Amino acid sequence: MPNVVFVPLKKSKTIKAGATLLAAANQSDVPIGQSCSGDGICGWCKVRVLRGGESLAPPIALERKLMAQYNFASNERAACLAVINGDVEITTSYW
């Protein structure tokens, strides 16, 4: 099962493939901002992928729209929509 590392919090979570980064964070008691309850419309759950970006499923149309609307960098994803397929390390600007 994939492992998600939350840098610099030194927390990690082994989670079933197919879960989102937000689900992994919630199960680890790691705070990730959101105002849309994970519906993919607010952009507050933006995370920076430090390692393992290739272990995330490609962004779906809704995430691509959100990424464009909020000017995400190439290594940033919406935690509520980014699906985990393998090991990944992430951070945010507020940890």
CA distance 61 to 51: 23
- On the question of pLDDT at 22 being above 90, the answer is yes
Instruction: Evaluate the CA torsion angle 83, 84, 89, 94 in order and state its sign.
Output: positive
CA distance 91 to 47: 6
Q: Give domain 3-91's CATH architecture.
A: Roll (3.10)
What are 35-72's pLDDT values in tens digits?
Answer: 998 889 999 999 999 999 999 999 999 999 999 999 99
Predicted model pTM? 0.94
What is the pLDDT at residue 27? 96
Q: Where are the domains of the chain?
A: 3-91
The DSSP H or E segment spanning 25 is helix 21-27
What are 1-14's pLDDT values in tens digits?
Answer: 999 999 999 999 99
